[in-house]
Chains A and B, each alone.
Chain A
Amino acid sequence: MKRFRNLPIQQKMLVMTLLICGAVLLVAIVALFTFQVLNFRSNFQRDTTTLAAVIANNSTAALAFNDASGATEVLASLEAVPTVVSACLVTTKGTLFAQAGKAENAQSLFQYPPPGQARFTGEYLLLAQPVILDKKQVGTLYLRSNFRQTFVKLLTFYGLMILGVTVVSIGLAVFLSGRLQRIITDPILHLARTAQIVGEKKDYSLRATVSSCGDELGSLTESFNEMLSRIQSQDAALSLSQQRMEALIHSIDGIVWECNPDTFHFSFVSQQCARILGFPPEAWLTEAGFWQNHLHPDDLAKTVQLRRDQARAGEPYSYEYRMLAADGRVVWIRESGSVLAENGHAVAMRGIFLDFTAQKTAADELEKLNRRLLDTSRRAGMAEVATGVLHNVGNVLNSVSVSATLVGDRLKQSKVANLRRAASMLREQNGHLAEFLTHDPKGKLLPDYFSTVANQLVAEQTELVTEMNSVGQHIEHIKEIVAMQQNYAKVSGAYENLSAAELTEDALRINAAAFDRHGIHLVREFDAATPAICVDRHKILQILINLIRNAKYAMDAHPTSEKKLVIRVGPAAPGRVQIAVCDSGIGIAPDNLIRIFQHGFTTKKEGHGFGLHSAANAAKEMGGCLTVQSDGLGQGATFVLELPVANPTSQRKDLATN
Chain B
Amino acid sequence: METRHIMPRSWRLGCVCLWLACGWLAVAEDNADVKDYQVKAIYLYNFTEFTVWPASAFASSNAPIVIGIVGEDPFGKTLDVVINGETAHGHPLVVKRLRADEDLRSCQVLFIASSEKKRISGLLQKLKGSPVLTVSDTTDFAKQGGMVTFLLIQKTVKFEINQAAAEAAGLQISAKLLKLAYTAKSN
Contact partner of B6 among A64, A92, A109, A133, CB < 8 A?
A92
> In the complex, what residue of chain B is closest to A134 when comparing beta carbons?
B49
C-alpha spacing A67/B178, complex, angstroms: 12
A-B contact pairs, 27 of them (CB 8 A): A57-B176, A60-B176, A61-B46, A61-B50, A61-B177, A62-B180, A64-B50, A65-B43, A65-B46, A90-B2, A92-B5, A92-B8, A92-B13, A94-B5, A94-B6, A109-B1, A109-B2, A114-B4, A114-B5, A115-B5, A133-B49, A134-B49, A134-B88, A136-B9, A136-B10, A136-B13, A140-B5
C-alpha spacing A512/B176, complex, angstroms: 184
A462 at the interface (CB under 8 A from B): no
Q: A109 to chain B: which residues have CB within 8 Å? A: 1-2
Contact partner of B87 among A61, A66, A92, A134, CB < 8 A?
A134
Known contacts A93-B17, A93-B21, A134-B87; A64 and B9 CB within 8 A of each other: no
Q: A94 to chain B: which residues have CB within 8 Å? A: 2-3, 5-6
Q: What distance in Å separates the Cβ of B12 from its nearest Cβ neighbour in chain A?
A: 9
Q: What distance in Å separates the Cβ of A96 from its nearest Cβ neighbour in chain B?
A: 10
A-B contact count (CB 8 A): 56
Give the residues from 106 to 124 in chain B that come closer than 8 angstroms, CB to CB, to chain A.
Answer: none
Interface size of B by CB at 8 A reads 25
A550 at the interface (CB under 8 A from B): no
Q: Among the interface residues B5, B13, B180, which one has the most CB atoms of the partner chain A within 10 A?
A: B5
Known contacts A61-B176, A65-B43, A65-B180; A137 and B50 CB within 8 A of each other: no
C-alpha spacing A110/B180, complex, angstroms: 30
A70 at the interface (CB under 8 A from B): yes
Q: Mark A93-128, 1 if CB is under 8 A from B, else 0.
A: 110000000000010011000110000000000000
> In the complex, what residue of chain A is closest to B14 when comparing beta carbons?
A92
B179 at the interface (CB under 8 A from A): yes
A194 at the interface (CB under 8 A from B): no
B174 at the interface (CB under 8 A from A): yes
A58 at the interface (CB under 8 A from B): yes
B96 at the interface (CB under 8 A from A): no
Known contacts A64-B46, A140-B5; A58 and B176 CB within 8 A of each other: yes
Q: What distance in Å separates the Cβ of A412 from its nearest Cβ neighbour in chain B?
A: 209
B97 at the interface (CB under 8 A from A): no
User: Which 8 pairs from chain A and chain B are nearest by CB?
Assistant: A61-B176, A94-B2, A64-B46, A70-B180, A67-B180, A94-B6, A134-B49, A65-B180
C-alpha spacing A252/B9, complex, angstroms: 129
The reply to whether A137 and B176 form a contact with Cβ atoms under 8 Å apart is no
Q: What distance in Å separates the Cβ of A212 from its nearest Cβ neighbour in chain B?
A: 70
C-alpha spacing A60/B176, complex, angstroms: 8
Q: A106 to chain B: which residues have CB within 8 Å? A: 2
B126 at the interface (CB under 8 A from A): no
> In the complex, what residue of chain B is closest to A115 when comparing beta carbons?
B5
Q: B4 to chain A: which residues have CB within 8 Å? A: 114
Known contacts A64-B49, A70-B179, A93-B17; A137 and B3 CB within 8 A of each other: no
C-alpha spacing A516/B99, complex, angstroms: 219
The reply to whether B89 and A134 form a contact with Cβ atoms under 8 Å apart is yes
> In the complex, what residue of chain A is closest to B2 when comparing beta carbons?
A94
C-alpha spacing A73/B176, complex, angstroms: 12
Give the residues from 1 to 51 in chain B that come closer than 8 angstroms, CB to CB, to chain A.
Answer: 1-6, 8-10, 13, 17, 21, 39, 43, 46, 49-50
Contact partner of A92 among B17, B43, B88, B176, CB < 8 A?
B17
> In the complex, what residue of chain A is closest to B159 when comparing beta carbons?
A65
Known contacts A60-B176, A134-B89; A93 and B46 CB within 8 A of each other: no
